[in-house]
């Protein structure tokens, strides 16, 4: 029985390894498309044109002949990619890890790392292509499978001056953190294999299609860039794709899973708010890559996104503890952290579209609404969203997507004057509502299907005893801390 099981695991793993190596060799053999000679100046172009191309570099315009990655833009996008990775590892791992009980801290960390490993492989194999290759309004094609043709030259569909391979890595970091966010809702009570299997399916069923719809050049929700989008919605850095998708999936999954053993009877205290505060700081810092990087350039739109992100977050980080101070006289560190993260979440979809003062208003609401979602709504409805993924990301992302519809202005982002000139400031919020509805339906329906499939195949929860012992020991065979000389 045990031997058989071991053989099965060996087989599965060898299959995966083998497939990866085979795909890699195929890709190596095919040889990546050789990049054109480094200096595009080789083609004769008259001087004025050459100067115009250089000016296009500075202003992030479209070049005629100088098709190359631009140093300033590439520098910012590489920095942004690193920052978004930093959000997950170690940022989110710490933020969530500090909130669970000591015996589960590593399980949360392992889930974050697991997302990084698994999604990297998927993204390289086919994920990037399904999202960003041209395809149909719902899903991209296979042109970029194995990252074929994804070189250091820009792909003008997404950024005229940024290496496409950097863009692909930048987007990979988004694809890593999104499923990792779900972990917060189901922390402390789901088997590791079940989580990983769920996430594998979730990427294909929900993330890849949704990201393509919203950001793919021919996606059906891509109001800014796709003139033919059936729903003319906007989402700068992932209100629907990242926060709503993960937040609503998290809610459904936590309902299907049920509550943790002893929930509501015993106090479940965060084992280290220090770690949570550290993680919050890292999330905030990393989020600049997330939001300002979503301009896919180091231009004025990035600058605006940087500004709105700071203002909304700073304000929300003051408002949440202020509400605690009013209601209970004690502003808490967890309140500061929750406020900051809520601010970051809510400004995300609008960061590059709203004005600084719009961001302040959004920040106030980001401090108020998720506060009530986490402290009142949850208790009232009685679900066990362990670390408030739904309360913060679900509720905050949903609100942010809607507010973006009201606050977006072409004053800060000229791209709103092209395909959307007729609706910005008018009916845009209706389009947002439609996109939000579609996202909620996809996320919840997809999660129901996947959760029951995984339950049938692997089972979702560990045994009662295992849950009491803690997942660190049972799923990973480790302890987070050995502060004492001889183990324990």
Residues 345-374 that bind other proteins (CB under 8 A): 371, 374
Contact 348, 237 (CB under 8 A): yes
Report the nearest approach of a copy of itself to the CB of residue 182 (Å): 18
Angle between helices 273-292 and 300-328 (to 10 degrees): 150
What is the pattern of x (binds a copy of itself, CB under 8 A) and - over residues 440-469? ------------------------------
Tell whether residue 348 is a contact of a copy of itself (CB under 8 A): no
Residue 367 CA to residue 189 CA, distance in Å, equals 29
How many Cα atoms are found within 13 Å in the side-chain-facing hemisphere of 172? 25
Tell whether residue 476 is a contact of a copy of itself (CB under 8 A): yes
Tell whether residue 486 is a contact of other proteins (CB under 8 A): yes
End-to-end CA distance of the chain: 31
Residue 166 CA to residue 483 CA, distance in Å, equals 41
CB atoms within 10 A of CB 29: 7
Closest residue by Cα to residue 266 from 99, 471, 470, 468: 468
Report the nearest approach of other proteins to the CB of residue 102 (Å): 10
Q: Which stretch binds a copy of itself (CB under 8 A): 205-213, 305-313, 441-449, 454-462?
A: 305-313
Residues from 98 through 127 that contact a copy of itself (CB under 8 A): 101-103, 105-106, 109-110, 113-114, 116-121, 124
Tell whether residue 113 is a contact of other proteins (CB under 8 A): no
With CB under 5 to 8 Å by kind, the binding choice for 262 among a copy of itself, other proteins, none is: other proteins
Residue 239 CA to residue 215 CA, distance in Å, equals 12
Report the nearest approach of other proteins to the CB of residue 113 (Å): 15
Q: 41 or 449, CB closer to a copy of itself? A: 41
Report the nearest approach of a copy of itself to the CB of residue 386 (Å): 15
What is the pattern of x (binds a copy of itself, CB under 8 A) and - over residues 82-101? xx-xx-xxxx-xx--x---x
Radius of gyration of the chain (CA): 23
Residue 141 CA to residue 231 CA, distance in Å, equals 21
Residues from 363 through 422 that contact other proteins (CB under 8 A): 371, 374-376, 378-379, 388, 391
Residue 88 CA to residue 286 CA, distance in Å, equals 9
Residues from 153 through 192 that contact a copy of itself (CB under 8 A): 153, 161, 163, 165-166, 168-169, 172, 192
Binding-site size for a copy of itself (CB under 8 A) equals: 170
Q: 139 or 315, CB closer to a copy of itself? A: 315
Residue 386 CA to residue 38 CA, distance in Å, equals 52
Report the nearest approach of a copy of itself to the CB of residue 65 (Å): 10
Q: Any bridge partners for residue 154, and if so which?
A: 163
Contact 313, 285 (CB under 8 A): no
Residue 239 CA to residue 362 CA, distance in Å, equals 13
Contact 393, 374 (CB under 8 A): no
Tell whether residue 267 is a contact of other proteins (CB under 8 A): yes
Residue 354 CA to residue 176 CA, distance in Å, equals 27
Residue 65 CA to residue 41 CA, distance in Å, equals 7
Report the nearest approach of a copy of itself to the CB of residue 74 (Å): 5
Residues from 22 through 81 that contact other proteins (CB under 8 A): none
Choose which of 334, 424, 443, 454 interacts with other proteins (CB under 8 A): 334
Q: Any bridge partners for residue 266, and if so which?
A: 263
Report the nearest approach of other proteins to the CB of residue 472 (Å): 10
Residue 208 CA to residue 197 CA, distance in Å, equals 16
Choose which of 40, 45, 364, 473 interacts with other proteins (CB under 8 A): 473
Tell whether residue 2 is a contact of other proteins (CB under 8 A): no
- Residue ranges binding other proteins (CB under 8 A): 262, 265-270, 324, 328, 330, 332, 334-335, 338, 371, 374-376, 378-379, 388, 391, 465, 468, 473, 477-479, 484-488
């Amino acid at each position: 029985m045990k031997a058989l099981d071991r053989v099965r695991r060996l087989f599965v793993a060898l299959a995966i390894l083998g497939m990866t190596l085979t795909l890699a060799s195929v890709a190596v053999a095919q040889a990546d498309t050789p990049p054109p000679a480094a200096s595009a100046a080789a083609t004769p172009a008259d001087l004025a044109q050459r100067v115009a191309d250089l000016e296009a570099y500075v202003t992030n315009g479209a070049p005629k002949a100088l098709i190359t990655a631009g140093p300033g833009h590439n520098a910012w996008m590489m920095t942004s990619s690193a920052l978004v990775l930093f959000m997950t590892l170690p940022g989110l791992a710490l933020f969530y890890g500090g909130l669970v009980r000591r015996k589960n801290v590593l399980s949360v960390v392992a889930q974050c790392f697991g997302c990084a490993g698994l999604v990297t492989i998927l993204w390289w194999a086919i994920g990037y292509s399904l999202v960003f290759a041209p395809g149909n309004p719902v899903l991209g094609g296979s042109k970029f499978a194995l990252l074929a043709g994804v070189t250091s030259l820009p792909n003008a569909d997404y950024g005229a001056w940024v290496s496409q391979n950097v863009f692909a890595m930048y987007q990979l970091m988004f694809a890593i953190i999104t499923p990792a966010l779900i972990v917060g809702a189901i922390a402390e009570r789901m088997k590791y294999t079940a989580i990983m299997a769920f996430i594998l399916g979730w990427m294909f069923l929900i993330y890849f299609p949704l990201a393509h719809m919203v950001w793919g050049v021919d996606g059906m929700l891509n109001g800014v860039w796709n003139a033919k989008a059936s729903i003319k919605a906007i989402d700068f850095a992932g209100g629907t794709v990242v926060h709503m998708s993960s937040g609503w999936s998290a809610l459904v999954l936590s309902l299907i899973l049920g509550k943790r053993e002893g929930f509501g009877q015993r106090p479940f205290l965060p084992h280290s708010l220090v770690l949570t505060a550290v993680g919050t700081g890292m999330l905030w810092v990393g989020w600049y890559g997330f939001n300002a990087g979503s301009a896919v350039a180091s231009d004025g739109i990035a600058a605006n996104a940087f500004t709105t992100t700071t203002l909304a977050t700073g304000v929300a980080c003051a408002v949440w503890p202020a509400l605690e101070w009013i209601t209970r006289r004690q502003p808490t560190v967890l309140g500061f952290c929750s406020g900051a993260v809520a601010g970051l979440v809510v400004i995300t979809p609008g960061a590059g579209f709203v004005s600084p003062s719009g961001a302040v208003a959004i920040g106030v609401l980001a401090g108020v609404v998720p506060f009530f979602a986490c402290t009142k709504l949850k208790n009232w409805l009685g679900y066990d969203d362990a670390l408030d993924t739904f309360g913060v990301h679900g509720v905050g992302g949903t609100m942010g997507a809607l507010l973006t519809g009201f606050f977006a202005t072409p004053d800060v982002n000229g791209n709103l004057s092209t395909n959307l000139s007729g609706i910005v400031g008018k009916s845009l919020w209706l389009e947002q509502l439609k996109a939000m509805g579609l996202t909620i339906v996809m996320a919840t329906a997809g999660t129901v299907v996947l959760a029951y499939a995984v339950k049938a195949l692997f089972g979702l929860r560990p045994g009662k005893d295992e849950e009491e012992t803690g997942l660190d020991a049972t799923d990973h065979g480790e302890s987070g801390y050995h502060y004492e000389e001889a183990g324990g």
